[in-house]
Amino acid sequence: MHIGIIGGGPAGYVAAIRAAQMGAKVSVVEKEFLGGECTNHGCIPTKALYLTAHKIADFQWGNAMSLWDGEIFPDWRKILDFKNRVVQRLVKGIEFLFKKRGIELISGRAVFLSPTEILIEGAKSERRKFDKIIIATGSTTSIPPVEGLSGISPWDNRRALSAEKLPQKLVILGGGVIGVEFAHIFRAFGCDVTIVELMPKILPFNDDDVSSAIHRALVKEGVKIIVSAKAVYAHRNTEGVIIELDDGNSISAEEIIVATGRTPVFPDKLDEIGIEIGENGIVVDDFLRTSVEDVYAAGDVIGPPFLAHLASHQGIFIVERILGESDRKFDGSGVPAAIFSALEAGSAGLTEAEARKKFGDNVKIGKFPYIASGRALCEDEKEGFLKVIAAPDGKIIGFHSAGKNSSELLGLGGFLVQSGLSIDDVEDKIFAHPTLSEMIGESVLAAEQRAIHIL
């Protein structure tokens, strides 16, 4: 079995490794770098900057608490060098795994000639045939239809992460996950930041409590947030950019980041071989097969949610199905998602609003605040909460948190949701003390009005 994979991002390279583990012959066609957008221009570099910002904040906290006295002078270029070293180490790690697993890596752009044959346009053009093909070509920044915007060269995630100098004033179009993460990072390094969001709240698809908590934390940092606002015109002058809003107001800044969403990237000539493309991306069935036999698709190219870990899971699923290890349908429910902003946040499953719409007032909500956690207070982390949502029968259907290390707490929270566990399954389990994870147990108990450390 020879499997061809188009795209070396989280869906493609993980699928390739799993296929090689199972004994298949594997070739990956990648036009840029292994690791894709996540490793090179998204998840990883933003987290490297996020960590650096928190190291600076920790030092400033020590000054504020009179634990020490001193000044810190961040060097942006050296910070970017650190970010680049992290990225390169991970990319080289993937390359090493490919080499050791015998996975062929072909540099070039794939063009479909038939459902099982592609033309690879690179340093030299060549035709290759495969038994099965997986499309994992990812996504790119979606530019909103704002008059003049495309003509002023706005920053996307790539340009923002490679800026040679920090802008004094920055405006971010979009208050979703990408927008709030960039807002926190650039504010931490001293930029004047304004978010413009079309919807009535930032993080419009997240739980209301998560959205509100991050909104408050960003404002506390000094980020300006404008919601229910539509950008209608953009232009650039000698001092920077000017964004005009639909209410007649305008915002001036040195640079602008577009963070209004992502759009799938497709290989060439999909239509000529009959692959169906829908409103959100390539159309796939319950087994992630496209409309053409022997061609599968995974990751951002099949549409939202655009999550690297979901893409990787889909890649593994496809390979195991192709090679006969699994015949189950793909289940993408309860996928966890983390946010790294002024507060970390984590979510899995239904939001409270979605749960109430489905179950009405019979839904069970358990919420526990960070300020009641001994470990959180030891770390001087008073802001935040954990929330567990359960159906009337006690099945845990939602987990949401905002606060210190929420992304790590999400590992267990997401497991509770995806495993279909109930309040009864968790309530008698022992959590180590003093840890932040104790709050998960308290939240579960709170859903039955039995939390110990809150009224």
How far apart (Å, rounded) are the C-alpha atoms in residues 410 and 414?
Answer: 5
How far apart (Å, rounded) are the C-alpha atoms in residues 451 and 443?
Answer: 7
> Token digits for 392?
């009337």
Q: Are 44 and 346 in contact (CB under 8 A)?
A: no
Q: Are 142 and 309 in contact (CB under 8 A)?
A: no
Closest alpha carbon to 71 in 85, 59, 55: 59
Q: How many CB atoms lie within 10 A of CB 168?
A: 12
> Token digits for 145?
């239809």
**Phi and psi, residue 29, nearest 5°:** -105, 120
Closest alpha carbon to 416 in 432, 403, 399, 428: 399
How far apart (Å, rounded) are the C-alpha atoms in residues 140 and 184?
Answer: 22
**Phi and psi, residue 18, nearest 5°:** -65, -40
Q: Are 27 and 4 in contact (CB under 8 A)?
A: yes
How far apart (Å, rounded) are the C-alpha atoms in residues 265 and 141?
Answer: 10
Question: Containing H/E element for 256?
Answer: strand 255-258
The residues near 309 (Cβ < 8 Å, ≥ 6 apart) are 10, 335, 336
Q: Is 433 a catalytic residue?
A: yes
Catalytic, out of 54, 400, 433, 453: 433
- Residues known to be catalytic: 433
